[in-house]
């Protein structure tokens, strides 16, 4: 039943381009400017960013898998409610699972997990990629978009945590287990803290600098050439 759709897909899956899109060229935050609400809310520390990033990644991969494998069944007229239903169910299951088995992390992130439902990035990928591609590329796209999102979350969290409280990856052992406790660093001892960076305005400031930094990097010759080649290859 999915045959006609498969024939429209390219002969060879452009794995490299999917990866580059997710990580850089079409990054959820840096290029699509989506998912800013959970992004700004949780990135007070790098650990929180990593936690929300990993949770979003799981949901993105699973929604890519489900949406892609069910795409022959779903008609265009009702696709949006069906996608929303799939994503909301996945997020609720992730929320329940984290509460049961990653309870300490859930205490930190619990408030923000339901926000993943409102994360337009996931619905966006379901609509523009997973529903038009075979399962393997859709899952890979979810993985790459998720990793790209996680990297931005961690970078932003690290910037704000470092400037705001002088530490890096505080409470990382809650998320990654005691073995990763070495990540917890106090880079600036006896730091009095710069409260603004921990509060929401700091999130906007840090995001602004991050975006400006990405624009500057894109001017470098190596990124310029890549960006052009992508724009030629891009279908829409």
Q: Report the nearest approach of other proteins to the CB of residue 32 (Å).
A: 26
How many residues touch other proteins (CB under 8 A)? 27
Please tell me whether residue 190 binds other proteins under the rule CB under 8 A: no
Please tell me whether residue 114 binds other proteins under the rule CB under 8 A: no
Nearest Cα to Cα of residue 214 among 148, 158, 168, 119: 148
Please tell me whether residue 8 binds other proteins under the rule CB under 8 A: no
Task: Identify which of residues 107 and 225 has a Cβ nearer to other proteins in the complex.
Answer: 107
Please identify which residue in 37, 103, 186, 234 interacts with other proteins, judged by CB under 8 A: 103
Task: Identify which of residues 81 and 114 has a Cβ nearer to other proteins in the complex.
Answer: 81
Q: Report the nearest approach of other proteins to the CB of residue 221 (Å).
A: 42
Q: Are 42 and 109 spatial neighbours (Cβ–Cβ below 8 Å)? A: yes
Task: Identify which of residues 154 and 198 has a Cβ nearer to other proteins in the complex.
Answer: 198
Q: Are 32 and 89 spatial neighbours (Cβ–Cβ below 8 Å)? A: no
Q: Report the nearest approach of other proteins to the CB of residue 94 (Å).
A: 9
Please tell me whether residue 69 binds other proteins under the rule CB under 8 A: no
Q: Which stretch binds other proteins (CB under 8 A): 54-62, 81-89, 129-137, 205-213?
A: 81-89
Please tell me whether residue 165 binds other proteins under the rule CB under 8 A: yes
Please tell me whether residue 5 binds other proteins under the rule CB under 8 A: no
Site for other proteins, rule CB under 8 A: 44, 73-75, 77-78, 81-82, 85-86, 88-89, 92-93, 96-97, 99-101, 103, 107, 164-165, 193, 195, 198-199
């Amino acid at each position: 039943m999915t045959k006609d759709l498969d024939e429209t897909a390219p002969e060879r899956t452009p794995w490299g381009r999917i990866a580059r899109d997710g990580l850089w060229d079409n990054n959820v935050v840096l290029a699509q400017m989506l998912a800013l609400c959970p992004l700004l809310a949780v990135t007070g520390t790098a650990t929180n960013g990593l936690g929300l990033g990993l949770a979003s990644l799981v949901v993105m991969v699973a929604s890519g898998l489900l949406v892609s494998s069910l795409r022959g069944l779903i008609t265009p007229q009702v696709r949006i409610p069906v996608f929303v239903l799939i994503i909301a169910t996945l997020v609720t299951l992730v929320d329940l699972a984290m509460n049961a088995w990653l309870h300490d992390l859930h205490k930190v992130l619990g408030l923000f997990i339901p926000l993943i439902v409102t994360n337009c990035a996931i619905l966006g990928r379901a609509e523009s990629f997973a529903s038009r591609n075979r399962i393997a590329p859709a899952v890979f796209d979810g993985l790459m978009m998720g990793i790209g999102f996680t990297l931005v979350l961690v970078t932003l969290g690290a910037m704000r945590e470092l400037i705001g409280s002088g530490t890096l990856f505080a409470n990382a052992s809650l998320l990654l287990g005691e073995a990763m406790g070495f990540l917890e660093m106090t880079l600036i001892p006896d730091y009095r803290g710069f409260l603004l960076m921990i509060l929401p305005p700091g999130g906007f400031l840090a995001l602004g600098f991050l975006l400006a930094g990405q624009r500057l990097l894109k001017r470098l010759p190596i990124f310029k050439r890549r960006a052009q080649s992508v724009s030629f290859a891009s279908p829409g």
